[in-house]
Structure 1
Amino acid sequence: MEQYKIGCRMERLKKMSGSGKSLSKLIKKSGAKLKRGSPDPIVTRLVIDSRRVTPGSLFFALPGLRQDGSAFIDEALRRGAVGVVSSEPRRFGNSKAVFVQADDPRLTLAKVARRFFGKPDKDIDLFGITATNGKTTVSYLAKHFLSLDGVKTGCLGTIGYDLVDRVLPSFRTTPEAHELCELLSQMRDFGCTRAVMEVSSHGIDQLRIAELKFKVGVFLNLTRDHLDYHGDMENYFAVKRRFIDGEIGTVPKKLVLNVDDTYGRRLADEHKEESTITFGTSKQARLRATDIELAPDGATFTLEWDGKRYLVNSPLIGLYNVSNTLAALSMAVLGDVPVEKCIGSLNSFGGIPGRMERVITGQPFEVVVDYAHTGNALENALKMLQEITPGKVKVVFGCGGDRDRGKRVEMTKVSTELADYCWATTDNPRSEVQEQIFDDMREGISDHSKIEFVLDRRRAIELALKSADPGDCVLIAGKGHEPFQEYGDTVVPFDDRKVARELLESMKLGGRI
């Protein structure tokens, strides 16, 4: 329901490119075939949700994991759809609507959307980033770097859709194909000639980016996540590879690959073109970081690139953020932005919401909110905080409902092994019973004396903050920038950063800190 409401808000704000296009032009060379009706009704909107259909809409009945769009064709027709695209032949009764049959309605949607919105990727250099962890940080950094030469650069991802002259709330990391093309079209209307976007595995597999032409494709890493959808790691990797290899469209003109990652090395072994930049700390990397020094307020390292060495002072903490910075610098290089200019601009970089974001109210210990919601991301965060924290590192974390159950064991194991104490709590339980999620998590406990299970997330954060001594660090992990909790079909306002700040202020007023 929340996604539907956000989608409606986006529609109210959107700027349509033209009054409509004829169906015959839209489906030309798309592989879809007109099976019934006039070939030339005027299509004014592309829709996949029958509730959003208005007269003039072309409704795409997409297959789904839980519901099939074909079940909503009658509703779409009642609301005034001029046509339906589906893989299943069906009777339309007395309706005058057009029926278009497509072997793969998702691919047809991608092709039609690109044409409907005037092929915006022809006017915008697309920089696509795919990974399990780090996509948002790299996208923010890359947008920062790619804007330094005065070129308007948009950014689409988990936190929001930044069209430069307008920012919309994000409801998917990678929007559906017609939404994506519309957003790119608006960017073009606002004068953008570059766009950075996060490319999720779901977005690849569900053909949301099909047909788009990317100037640069970026691969950061691959760790366990989404196996409820992909099945196993090789299938997960195969989906990511489809973007890098151009199997769902054109091959990106240039590539950026992380050779510190096992899967990144596999891709690098297959892509040795001069236009590929490999990055990392290993000698195999073309763009390399050496002499790394980590501190509580950032990192310092030497950048080796193109036969030159540069001293880099970054405000981002942790070794994995050194890697993220290398990725963004590689993208800037391929965008012809001078590397010296990028390095010099790091001191003005404003950071990323919910990514190692410090909550400061004058307390004598650190409080950090981070989006870490996989075993690998938690491991990276906890190891990094252990290195820079003089006292103890404590963590509040949870595991989402209706998602890969296998990673719950990993997350709990990592937390109890690396943190000094843990509070396991809720994190978007969705339709699952929280106690079942807790039971799965308990299987990963390595030390029962170091963990406490607390049903209420606010209470868990409160217990962690009250336990902290001067010099300690409390990591509140899992939700990052998210301002809500999901329970069944209900979305409840909840922002870790806001809650932590409120609790810290209350503790100060009560004389406890």
Structure 2
Amino acid sequence: MHQASLKNDSKAKIDLSQDNRANGIPLADLLPKNGVQVTHGLDGSLVFDLVTDSRRVVPGSLFFALEGLREDGNDFIEDAIKRGAIGVVSNRSYPAGDGFSSIQVNDPRQALAKFSRRFHSFPDRELALVGVTGTNGKTTVSTLVKFLLQRENQPVGMIGTVRYELGDRALPSFKTTPESADLYAMLRSMQSAGCAEAVMEVSSHGIDQERVNGLNLAVTAFLNLTQDHLDYHGSMEDYFRAKCKIFNGSNGSLPSVGVINADCAWGRRLLEEIPPQVRVMTFGEALDADFRAREINLSQNGTEFLLECPEGEFAVSSPLLGRYNTSNVLAAFAIASAMGQPVKQSLAILPSFQGVDGRMQEVNEGQPYKVLVDYAHTPDALGNALQMLREFTPGRLQVVFGCGGDRDRGKRLQMTEIACGMADLAWATADNPRTEKQDRIFRDMRKGVSDPEKIQFVRDRRSAISKALDRADDGDCVLIAGKGHETFQEINRTAHPFDDRVVASELLRNKRADWEKC
């Protein structure tokens, strides 16, 4: 589909064309066994690319007309033809032409997944794949699983929010779970680079939009479910039902193992959805969890706890901060175990884990107070982050946060309530407003203000960060939440360069003279 993209976002231009499609495949060989209603004009044309954006069409491309929330790919079929597409796949009837084929299907998104899998020669059959889903923690768990499993000369691939790691190179991420044409191209690149295993974040959008339909996942993991994306799903029940699909087979494939959070009520419900042929492993603090943490000791240097699991009882020392990261470590250990790695091996590797970009990442320019950047952008994540920092902050705790535009409006009040209730001083500012007016976002956020003396609204994010740093003193902590690893701020469909870590570092260097006087 031809979409209005971010003007300065080069991430949208990732192209794996040289990796997997040099020889082309006959169009007739790509047709799935079911779901195709009508075909017109099929000939011996070779397909060199599968495309959903008409602007990316080159001669030999097969164009998939996907219906989106804002635009309909059917409106761009003519543009695709002019650019050299050899055919179109649509849920509508479209006349074939000279050298141009028309394929009508029930569900173009599902068809894209099936075509992509065939086009790239079923790379998921040659990789042991882990799929991690949940509202919070996907990136941390996926990165930790990759870290635990990788060996010298044996790379592990990864697809997620921060980057795509394909074995011999890394690419910037443009979607947590890419469209299936890109996804299968990446999996084939991983396999070609020597990867035998890969881990990927699986978003609810990716599941609902059939991007992982039929994908052969060896292990699927459910971390948690808290409010987010209700602008898309409509209700928590529908949000949950989307997640279930990669566990119960309704997405066209069953995992061998399902790893489930036993401390989450939604996880308990999910246990009832899983067919008996899927082996279940649970994790958490619950007494019946297969991977259970007890005697948890939290400190500002990390976390220690006792792990009870099928292999025995072990003392765990984790460099990750906070109780929520104990859950993430348990999930990663359970996943690694499901992939065949002994717990003792994971225990030996864990202490050297360096964390994840933009996840409780410290910005240190020698100032006498803590400055941390984190991706927390949901009520649950923000609350967990502030609760953890409160325990280790002798002075005042400040938070700079915002709420994204064109997204779930219901969480804005909740996030403001949490910021006001858990921080000594909160600075509400812009996150990624996208196409929504910041004033409207602020109006929704103001409904959650419990104490006007504890929060200030500052439209410009850099100014909000600067004001928070101006108010910081010895022993204080400033949490800059919401954007984490992101290097841009999206305003009116334009990506403006903005990195919380870089901005905070620059501001701190400029303010160095102030604290050195003290």
The TM-score, its normalising length taken from structure 1, stands at: 0.97
| More off after superposition, 172-181 vs 31-40 | 31-40
Alpha-carbon distance between aligned partners in 1 of 2:161 and 2:491, rounded to the nearest angstrom: 20
Partner of 1:365: 369
The TM-score, its normalising length taken from structure 2, stands at: 0.96
CA contact (8 A) 1:298 1:316 kept: yes
CA distance 1:227–1:28, shift in 2 (3 Å): closer
Instruction: Work out which of the residue numbers 236, 244, 249 in structure 2 matches 1:246.
Output: 249
Q: Does 1:278 align with 2:278?
A: no
TM-fit CA distance, 1:8: 6.0
Partner of 1:410: 414
CA distance 1:154–1:68, shift in 2 (3 Å): same
Partner of 1:323: 327
Q: Does 1:80 align with 2:78?
A: no
1:367-424 alpha-carbon deviations (Å, 9 max, x no partner): 1100000111111111111111111211000000000111100100111011111000
Alpha-carbon distance between aligned partners in 2 of 1:273 and 1:115, rounded to the nearest angstrom: 26
Partner of 1:187: 190
**What residue identity is the alignment partner of 2:369?**
F
Partner of 1:508: 512
TM-fit CA distance, 1:2: 3.2
Q: Does 1:137 align with 2:145?
A: no
TM-fit CA distance, 1:466: 1.3
TM-fit CA distance, 1:298: 0.8
1:451-498 alpha-carbon deviations (Å, 9 max, x no partner): 000011011001111111111111000000000101102110000011
CA RMSD of aligned residues (A): 1.6
**What residue identity is the alignment partner of 1:205?**
D
Task: Specify the SS of the correspondent of 1:59.
Answer: strand
1:432-454 alpha-carbon deviations (Å, 9 max, x no partner): 11011000000011111100000
Partner of 2:489: 485
Alpha-carbon distance between aligned partners in 1 of 2:137 and 2:42, rounded to the nearest angstrom: 48
Q: Does 1:442 align with 2:446?
A: yes
After TM superposition, the structure 1 = structure 2 runs for residues 303-382 of structure 1, keeping only pairs within 5 Å, are 303-306=307-310, 308-382=312-386
Instruction: Work out which of the residue numbers 223, 241, 248 in structure 2 matches 1:220.
Output: 223
**What residue identity is the alignment partner of 1:375?**
P
After TM superposition, the structure 1 = structure 2 runs for residues 18-57 of structure 1, keeping only pairs within 5 Å, are 18-57=22-61
Alpha-carbon distance between aligned partners in 2 of 1:165 and 1:450, rounded to the nearest angstrom: 49
After TM superposition, the structure 1 = structure 2 runs for residues 56-75 of structure 1, keeping only pairs within 5 Å, are 56-75=60-79
Partner of 1:166: 169
CA contact (8 A) 1:479 1:496 kept: yes
TM-fit CA distance, 1:149: 7.9
TM-fit CA distance, 1:114: 0.1
Q: Does 1:462 align with 2:466?
A: yes
Partner of 1:199: 202
- What percent identity do the matched residue pairs reach? 50
TM-fit CA distance, 1:30: 4.1
Partner of 1:177: 180
Q: Does 1:302 align with 2:339?
A: no
Count residues in correspondence. 512
Alpha-carbon distance between aligned partners in 2 of 1:221 and 1:333, rounded to the nearest angstrom: 20
Task: Specify the SS of the correspondent of 2:15.
Answer: helix
Alpha-carbon distance between aligned partners in 2 of 1:184 and 1:490, rounded to the nearest angstrom: 30
| Gap regions ≥5 residues in structure 1 | none
**What residue identity is the alignment partner of 1:391?**
G
Partner of 2:214: 211
CA contact (8 A) 1:294 1:388 kept: no
| More off after superposition, 361-370 vs 117-126 | 361-370
Alpha-carbon distance between aligned partners in 2 of 1:489 and 1:360, rounded to the nearest angstrom: 32
Task: Specify the SS of the correspondent of 1:202.
Answer: helix
Superposed structure 1 runs of 4+ greater than 3 Å apart:
2-9, 148-151, 269-274, 509-513
CA contact (8 A) 1:268 1:278 kept: no
